[in-house]
Amino acid sequence: MSKKKINAAVLVSGGGTNLQALIDAQKSGIIKSAKIKLVISNKPDAYALTRAKNAKIKTAVITKDEYKTAENAEKAMIKTLEENNIDLIVLAGFLSILSEKFTKKYGRRIINVHPSLIPSFCGKGYYGLKVHEEALKKGVKVTGATTHFVNEIPDGGEIIMQKAVKVYESDTPEKLQKRVMKQAEWKILPLSVEKIAKEMTENGGKQ
């Protein structure tokens, strides 16, 4: 008898390349303990919404502008997550810091992927290309990506997986960003979702 899959929501702000990696991993059977039931964006024009629609995944747009405050937007997000019976939340390029109230409510049920080997080049202000710019400035020979649980400290939650990626002298921040995505982010994010989802199905939907 197959175990019931848990419901996952993916939170996005931009192009959705990590979302695409999750959709592809679900199709290929890498993710088999979770079903991506919902994609929430805090930007109405995020291309990630198109990716979700193409994969026939339900979408919602919840912006701070619409709800006037970050707190109200979070309340609307919680309502949407609860209405869709979401068990696990995956941040895939979601460029908004979640409040302590929110992260505590979903303790050990929010996963993020960060484009460096935490604790290097992480925390407040370290996102997107900035992470790779700083890594190159520092002259590191190895970088990578990290998946971790989300708590009230930016990039401060318990690490789930890490994967190292070589840095070359000819690298630009853009080149390095692409390599880290392909070789690390798109691999460990689906594997981490499956790992945590499997643990949750075995624990009756809890982490």
Q: What is the pLDDT of residues 67-116, one digit of tens each?
A: 989 899 999 999 999 999 999 999 998 988 899 999 999 999 999 999 99
The whole-number pLDDT of residue 205 equals: 55
Query: Is the entire prediction scored with pTM above 0.75?
Result: yes
The pair of structure tokens assigned to 72 is: 């109200």
Determine if residue 16 is left, alpha or beta; phi over 0 gives left, psi from -120 to 50 gives alpha, anything else beta.
left
**pLDDT, position 44:** 96
Residue keyed to tokens 């019976």: 85
Query: Given CA atoms 113, 116, 120, 125 in this order, what sign does their dihedral have?
Result: negative
Residues 198/178, Cβ–Cβ less than 8 Å: no
Residue 207 has pLDDT above 60, yes or no: no
Q: Which of 1-5, 68-72, 170-174 has the lowest mean pLDDT?
A: 1-5
Residue 42 has pLDDT above 70, yes or no: yes
Determine whether 148 is an active site residue: no
Choose, from 114, 132, 148, 179, the residue flagged as catalytic.
114
The structure tokens listed for 59 are 């979408």
Looking at residue 1, its pLDDT comes to 32
Specify which residues 114 forms β-bridges with: 146
- Look-up of token digits 């630009």: 172
Q: Are residues 55 and 88 in contact, defined by beta-carbon separation less than 8 angstroms?
A: no
Cα-to-chain-centroid distance, residue 165: 19
204: CB partners within 8 A, 6+ apart:
none
Whether pLDDT at 35 is above 80: yes
Looking at residue 169, what is its pLDDT? Answer: 96
Domain 6-202 -> CATH class: alpha beta
Average pLDDT over residues 20-46: 97
Do strands 88-91 and 110-114 pair parallel, antiparallel, or not at all (unpaired)? parallel
Q: 161: which strand partners?
A: 147
Percent of the chain with pLDDT over 70: 97
